[in-house]
Chain A
Amino acid sequence: MKKEEAKKLVSNALARGRQVLLEPEAKALVSAWGIQVPKSVRIEGVEDVAIKLKALTPPLVLKVVSQDILHKRDVGGVITGLKDSKEASKALREMNEYLVEKAPAARIEGFLLEEMVPVGIELIIGGLRDPQFGPAVMFGTGGIAVELVKDVSFRLAPLNREEVFEMMREVKSYPLLTGFRGSKPVDLKKLASAVMALSEILLEIEEIKEIEINPFLVSEVGAVAVDAREVLQ
């Protein structure tokens, strides 16, 4: 997707009165700025699974798509390790049951079947528009315990490459990125480019209030946005 098309996702969502981009849109947007996302297909229901799944290489993950669900895992909206269309269909039926019970009021806008990303280090990269200082970018240790661990660093956008490397060195988990107890170092340049991409997105699209990739899974082979979120204004 080109940057111009990605910008339309934002204006379309706002026109529909939505204050967030749906996960597939959010990912399409960051991928337009060169950030790698997993290969995925969007499905409406069980009837789509068999055909659409052919484009993907298992193992797969199934995720609910809804503007109302902030933490998908908490409502059973993520099922991992699916090997074929039989498992995927079964997972979809189960997920529907969870959702009826745990998020009865949420508007469900389909599902995402996605290739699972090989294990790596979970990072978070994000950004927000501060009323006083304008766009700011965050880098840190990702995962579900982000707010607990608070191992993050901030800089104001626009960023230069040197600032991005400073940000990375400021977080405690930095040694994990440079090779720790036998692990191979990750591609720091690629990581830096992703952080800079968020800075550019915030500068270019004023309607984005918050942007976040978490987890951003990095390893020696690459850096992939496993989940992405954009809050609009």
Chain B
Amino acid sequence: MSIGTDINFFFSPQSIAIVGASPTPGKPSHVILENLKRIGYPGAIYLVNPNYASINGSKCYRSLNEIQDNVDVAIFVLPAPTVIEIMERTENVKGVIIVSAGFKETGYAGTKLEEELKEIGERKGIRIIGPNCLGIYDAVSRIDTFFTPEERVRRPKRGGLSILTQSGSFAELIMDEMASKDIGVARIVSYGNRVDVGETDCLKFLMDDEATKVVALYMESVDDGRRFVDVASRCTKKKPVVVVKVGKREAGVHAARSHTGAISGRYEIYRAAFKKAGIVEVNGYEGLKDACKVLNTYDLVEGNRVLIVTDGGGVGVSMADACEDLGLAVSELSEETIKRLSAKLLGFSATGNPIDLTGSVTDKDYVTALEEGLRDEFDVVIITVLWGAPEITETLADKLKEVKNSYNKPLLICTPSSEFTLRMAQCFEENGMPVFFTPESAARAAAVLAGRKR
């Protein structure tokens, strides 16, 4: 609910308590303890459970109050009614992460408990993440409160992407995906039922967080729309924010006394809000994957003009279609550029946009096409490389990198994903050019970069 202290301490806690700690492997609270140790959380870890004197050799406290220290973050892994009881007695805690389910999502009784929880938090000035959430995965401060074992859901390395989500399952999905694509993350926050801390508080923190270069947001609903727009507008001036909005079919809340009221579902207004705030909206999970990947390398661009260079006609055309569908401009080359290209490329290359170099292409042709094409005004380049063309070599990535560096334009690579081509894909990625495996995926990524101008 946004009032109260800032939430920065959640991302640099001196001490963490696990309330409801358990010695039994596989229990959520035990998994959390293991994960905190594995990730190397550097602060003090306190275990709390009145049923044990010690757990795995560590002292176990009877209650939070027994800890002779202020606890920055307490993680609650207990039945919902017990959470309320303990919250009521707790005095020495700044913030809590309530992993437990059994609140609003379960119906009337749970909703009552959630209201109580909210009231206690506000009264005592304790900030709350959750309930019904996974909490925080923070590769910067080395915090992992996700109760999923690492061998099942892989943790990404440290990087610049931060993710905010209402959905815990979504957090796991994207986390696993980022780990498998070797994309690094800074902070991931899953805030579940969002009784207190939500997207806006988190954005406010991430806005000034130097570790965070890009923010990805999975949104079902918003807590305080105007405040969100205000904070997000400031955040997008510093770093890109992308959003996936789900629940698009939700009906409007307006009386149908006018066409305007009848035509405005909730989603239309959300879209207007994203635009106002400079947030780039992507479509669905696939869209977010592509966005995370491309923003991991490149920043947003000013315009929406795409240059496509290909060694396969069909792929080039389908790439152009996919780009146009997403509101990108596959604009024509200037006459001068066409003239120069025709003079420099072999006879059967097509010198339009896409520039089709055909299966007779050489590494040098790609470089020529790029150097000439980029004399015209383009914002993004997509290069498709079909390795069936016999004359292109493994050094293509190095050569393209030189062009990329001298023109300073984002180059996206589209290539198939078989054994050989995956190895080639790695060459591109090592040279700082993200690779996408379908025309649609590459086009979506380009559309993200041009997100503010579509």
Q: Are A231 and B253 in contact (CB under 8 A)?
A: no
User: Which B residues are in CB contact (< 8 Å) with A41?
Assistant: none
User: Which B residues are in CB contact (< 8 Å) with A77?
Assistant: none
Residue of B nearest to A230 (CB): B258
- Given that A138-B264, A156-B229, A156-B276 are contacting pairs, would A133 and B258 also be in contact in the complex, using a CB cutoff of 8 Å? no
- Given that A147-B263, A152-B263 are contacting pairs, would A133 and B257 also be in contact in the complex, using a CB cutoff of 8 Å? no
What 1/0 mask marks residues of chain B from 269 to 281 whose CB sits below 8 Å from any chain A CB? Answer: 1111101100000
Q: Are B259 and A133 in contact (CB under 8 A)?
A: no
Question: Hey, which bits of chain B sit against chain A, CB under 8 A?
Answer: 222, 224-226, 229, 253-255, 257-264, 268-273, 275-276
Q: Are B264 and A156 in contact (CB under 8 A)?
A: no
One of A19, A20, A124, A132 near B260 (C-beta < 8 A): A124
- Given that A154-B271, A156-B273 are contacting pairs, would A134 and B259 also be in contact in the complex, using a CB cutoff of 8 Å? no
User: Which B residues are in CB contact (< 8 Å) with A105?
Assistant: none
- Given that A124-B260, A155-B276, A231-B261 are contacting pairs, would A210 and B225 also be in contact in the complex, using a CB cutoff of 8 Å? no
User: Which A residues are in CB contact (< 8 Å) with B253?
Assistant: 130-131
A124 to B226, CA, bound (A): 25
The contact sample of 29 A-B pairs, CB cut-off 8 A, is A19-B257, A20-B257, A124-B260, A126-B259, A128-B264, A130-B253, A130-B254, A133-B222, A133-B225, A133-B226, A133-B229, A133-B269, A133-B270, A134-B226, A138-B264, A146-B259, A147-B263, A150-B263, A152-B268, A154-B269, A154-B271, A154-B272, A155-B276, A156-B229, A156-B273, A166-B275, A210-B260, A229-B257, A231-B255
Residue of A nearest to B327 (CB): A170
Distance between B276 CB and nearest chain A CB, rounded to angstroms? 4
User: Which A residues are in CB contact (< 8 Å) with B276?
Assistant: 155-156, 163
User: Which A residues are in CB contact (< 8 Å) with B268?
Assistant: 152, 154
Q: Are A127 and B260 in contact (CB under 8 A)?
A: yes
Is A195 part of the binding interface, using a Cβ–Cβ cutoff of 8 Å?
A: no
Distance between B229 CB and nearest chain A CB, rounded to angstroms? 7
A19 to B257, CA, bound (A): 10
User: Which B residues are in CB contact (< 8 Å) with A163?
Assistant: 275-276
Distance between A134 CB and nearest chain B CB, rounded to angstroms? 5
Q: Are A138 and B222 in contact (CB under 8 A)?
A: no
User: Which B residues are in CB contact (< 8 Å) with A126?
Assistant: 258-260
Question: Hey, which bits of chain A sit against chain B, CB under 8 A?
Answer: 19-20, 70, 124, 126-128, 130-134, 136, 138, 146-147, 150, 152, 154-156, 163, 166, 209-212, 214, 229, 231
**Chain B binding surface SS class:** helix
User: Which B residues are in CB contact (< 8 Å) with A212?
Assistant: 258-260
Residue of A nearest to B260 (CB): A126
Q: Are A210 and B263 in contact (CB under 8 A)?
A: no
Residue of B nearest to A133 (CB): B225
Q: Are B269 and A70 in contact (CB under 8 A)?
A: no
Q: Are B260 and A130 in contact (CB under 8 A)?
A: no
- Given that A20-B257, A147-B259, A210-B261 are contacting pairs, would A155 and B222 also be in contact in the complex, using a CB cutoff of 8 Å? no
Q: Are B261 and A128 in contact (CB under 8 A)?
A: yes
Known: A133-B229, A154-B268. 15 other contacts (CB 8 A): A70-B257, A133-B222, A133-B269, A136-B269, A152-B263, A156-B272, A166-B275, A209-B254, A210-B254, A210-B260, A211-B258, A212-B258, A212-B260, A214-B259, A231-B257
A20 to B268, CA, bound (A): 24
Residue of B nearest to A233 (CB): B255
Residue of A nearest to B268 (CB): A154
User: Which B residues are in CB contact (< 8 Å) with A150?
Assistant: 263
User: Which A residues are in CB contact (< 8 Å) with B264?
Assistant: 128, 130, 136, 138, 154
User: Which A residues are in CB contact (< 8 Å) with B269?
Assistant: 130, 132-133, 136, 154, 156
Distance between B158 CB and nearest chain A CB, rounded to angstroms? 35
Residue of B nearest to A153 (CB): B272
User: Which A residues are in CB contact (< 8 Å) with B263?
Assistant: 138, 146-147, 150, 152
Distance between B372 CB and nearest chain A CB, rounded to angstroms? 31
Q: Are B258 and A210 in contact (CB under 8 A)?
A: yes
A166 to B454, CA, bound (A): 10
